């Protein structure tokens, strides 16, 4: 599959012209900045990648060769798949992922490329499926999981990314402690904020 990159430069750079580049026309320096191969200048504009069908797959703004601004990914249908805010090539702000229906799937705040605060995960209906507190990119605090009706069904306590304990709640609200194996299985989706928002 051949991907194409489009850099749309500002009026100051190319007098408002829109330039299309093949991936091989761009290069990444050792420091991670994106440059144009022919001119060796830092990329300023919006890099766009396309599906084989020609439909847009993603667009990411660049400033002085670094990701800077709101990056967006799209399903092949053209619907928005995710929004990732960048500042100086790091994720900075509220990262969101959507189901193809347009319903919010996940939202996690990032500070200096690390998940911070409460990440929320939703069912395709839009109802809250769970929430996990993050600190320095690690789960830290009590994760809560809900059934589609909104009833609390599980809690898992983390300390600096490590599992402390967890409980299931039955229909009567009785708390049942989870075994170590059950905890490990239940925490796969909440232990990595990057995976949770892809």
pLDDT digits (tens, 9 = 90+) for 67-123: 899 999 999 999 999 999 999 999 999 999 999 999 999 999 999 999 999 999 999
Both tokens of 113, joined, read 């490329």
CA distance 50 to 39: 24
Q: Quote the pLDDT of residue 94.
A: 98
> Under CATH, to which class is 101-192 assigned?
mainly beta
Q: Quote the pLDDT of residue 193.
A: 45
CA distance 68 to 182: 41
Going by C-alpha positions, the residue among 34, 8, 9, 12 that lies closest to residue 23 is: 34
Which residue spans within 79-123 are E strands per DSSP?
80-87, 90-91, 93-98, 104-111, 114-115, 117-122
pLDDT digits (tens, 9 = 90+) for 150-188: 999 999 999 998 899 999 999 888 999 999 888 888 766
Tally of CA atoms within 13 A in the half-sphere of 111 that contains its CB: 8
pLDDT averaged over every residue in the chain: 82
Task: Place 20 in a pLDDT band, splitting at 50, 70 and 90.
Answer: very low
Of the listed ranges 5-9, 98-102, 190-194, the least confidently predicted one is 5-9
Q: Quote the pLDDT of residue 148.
A: 95
Which residues are bridge partners to 66 per DSSP? 63
Q: Quote the pLDDT of residue 25.
A: 60
Q: Quote the pLDDT of residue 23.
A: 58
Of the listed ranges 22-36, 44-58, 84-98, 105-119, the least confidently predicted one is 22-36
The CB density around residue 62, as the number of other CB atoms within 10 Å, is: 22
The ranges assigned to domains in the chain are 1-91, 101-192
Does the pTM exceed 0.85? Answer: no
Q: Indicate if the pLDDT at residue 10 is higher than 90.
A: no
How does DSSP classify residue 43? P
Q: Quote the pLDDT of residue 26.
A: 67
Going by C-alpha positions, the residue among 21, 59, 56 that lies closest to residue 38 is: 21
Q: Quote the pLDDT of residue 62.
A: 83
Scanning the chain, the segments in alpha helix (DSSP H) are 11-14, 180-186, 193-196
Q: Quote the pLDDT of residue 1.
A: 30
Of the chain, the end-to-end C-alpha distance in Å amounts to 21
Task: Place 50 in a pLDDT band, splitting at 50, 70 and 90.
Answer: confident
Q: Quote the pLDDT of residue 18.
A: 40
Which residues are bridge partners to 152 per DSSP? 146
CA distance 103 to 82: 11
């Amino acid at each position: 599959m051949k991907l194409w990159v489009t850099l749309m430069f500002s009026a100051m750079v190319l007098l408002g012209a829109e330039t299309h580049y093949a991936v091989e026309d761009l290069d990444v320096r050792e420091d991670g900045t994106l440059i144009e191969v022919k001119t060796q200048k830092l990329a300023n504009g919006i890099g766009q990648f396309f599906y084989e069908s020609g439909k847009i797959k993603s667009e990411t703004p660049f400033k002085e060769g670094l990701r800077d601004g709101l990056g967006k990914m799209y399903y092949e249908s053209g619907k928005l798949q995710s929004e990732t805010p960048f500042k100086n090539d790091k994720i900075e702000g509220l990262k969101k992922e959507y189901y193809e229906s347009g319903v919010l799937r996940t939202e996690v705040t990032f500070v200096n490329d690390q998940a911070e605060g409460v990440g929320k995960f939703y069912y395709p209906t839009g109802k809250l499926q769970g929430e996990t507190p993050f600190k320095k990119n690690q789960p830290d605090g009590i994760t809560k999981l809900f059934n589609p009706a909104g009833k609390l069904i599980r809690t898992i306590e983390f300390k600096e990314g490590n599992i402390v304990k967890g409980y299931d709640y039955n229909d009567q609200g009785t708390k049942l402690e989870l075994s170590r194996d059950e905890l490990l299985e239940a925490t796969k989706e909440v232990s990595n904020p990057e995976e949770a928002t892809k």
